[in-house]
Chains A and B, each alone.
Chain A
Amino acid sequence: MARTAVLGRLTWQVGTVAEIRDETAAARTIIVDLPDWPGHEPGQHVDVRLTAPDGYSTQRSYSIASAPDGKRLELTVQRLDDGEVSPYLTQVLEPGYPLELRGPIGGWFVWDPASTGPVLLVAGGSGVVPLMSMIRTRDTSASTAPFRLLYSVRTAEAAFYTAELAERATTRDGLDVSYVYTRTAPPGSALPTGRISAGVLAAGGVTFAGPASAGYSRDAPPAVFICGPTSFVEAAANLLLQAGHDTSMIKTERFGPSGG
């Protein structure tokens, strides 16, 4: 954490889009090569700036999805149809195009791969992106920290990284992935359909161990990372506090309607 903190002030740099991958009908992963990238920690974000020929420019923040990987970076961007930046990134941008960004940004909502304690990741919609960076970094750093992802998403079709998460959960010990479908659940879903609730947390095993659950031990409470829209983060954080998680163990990252 301290290493990136002393790199100096943020400045803009221009990278080149190497590859683009569809995640869902409305989201794409953009893979960028940045000659001057200093590296990042899982959970950090970047600012992307677009500049029009007339000089008008606007910027948005996007979480980094990839594990640290030299001069290469992956961003997953959800298209907001009335947005100013995301329609360009998801519909116009092509491999070979330049992309201006600055980062890495933020030293608080990060997971340290050297820590061995359990980790609970709670994602609402595209809030899964910085948490995916943590999951990928757990594997690239050969960490054995117990990870659990609770991913709230409207439908199975709207979920990011589905195949990769299933593959990692199958092939790696200590990674557990559960979906909470808020609108339509595919057949065989383990958790009840609907918004995250005390019942969902209990069924997902993310409360503290009691007679009826195989949850966490109070001796080793998990570091909790919650990311999603403001209303989701508020609800999830309050539910976890009620379930006995301590406020000092919970880190949140909200993104609001001003995005896009």
Chain B
Amino acid sequence: MITPLDGNVLAGPLGELFAVDITSAMGQCASCGARNPMAMARVYTDAPGMVARCRSCDAVILRLVRAAGRAWLDMSGISSLQLRMSSE
């Protein structure tokens, strides 16, 4: 049986792409509408890339494939992200 990790494991790979920490953001699942911290997604790292699934409905919310010189990111399973920002 493949055991998933949690969304914390996305923090490094996504930190290569984004200047803010996506894992501490609240993400809304495009499939079921549930809002959960991205860090609590179920993440499968056994595939050629990383696949994150909604912890509420198990729909795929994010896929990330990293290769030499490029990254491919599919976030079509997330309808919105709410990010914590430093106070202006």
Contacts and interface: CB of A to CB of B under 8 A. Distances in A.
Interface string B38-79: 111000011000000000000000000000000000000000
Contact of A231 (B3, B19, B23, B87): B3
A231 B12 CA distance: 23
A104 to B, nearest CB: 9
Nearest to B6: A254
A3 B37 CA distance: 19
A12 B12 CA distance: 11
A233 B19 CA distance: 29
Contact of B23 (A7, A8, A107, A230): A107
B40 A8 contact: no
B5 A254 contact: yes
B17 interface: yes
Given A105-B15, A108-B8, A258 B24 contact: no
Interface residues of B, number: 28
A1, A45, A106, A233 — most chain B CB neighbours (10 Å): A106
Interface in B1-17: 3-9, 11-12, 15-17
Nearest to A47: B12
Given A2-B85, A108-B23, A256 B45 contact: yes
B45 A252 contact: no
A118 B45 CA distance: 34
A100 to B, nearest CB: 13
A106 B3 contact: no
Contact of A108 (B4, B18, B19, B39): B39
Interface string A99-111: 0001101111100
A253 interface: yes
A9 B11 contact: no
Contacts of A107: 11, 21, 23-24, 84
Nearest to B10: A106
Contacts of B7: 108
B57 to A, nearest CB: 16
B8, B11, B20 — most chain A CB neighbours (10 Å): B8
A10 interface: yes
A106 B85 contact: no
A8 B12 contact: no
Interface in A3-22: 3-10
Given A61-B12, A256-B3, 20 more contacts: A2-B85, A5-B24, A6-B20, A7-B19, A9-B18, A10-B12, A45-B8, A45-B12, A102-B12, A105-B11, A106-B12, A107-B24, A108-B11, A108-B37, A108-B38, A109-B8, A109-B39, A233-B6, A254-B8, A256-B45
11 contacts: A2-B86, A6-B19, A61-B12, A107-B23, A108-B11, A108-B24, A108-B39, A109-B8, A251-B39, A256-B3, A256-B4
Interface of B: 3-9, 11-12, 15-21, 23-24, 37-40, 45-46, 84-87
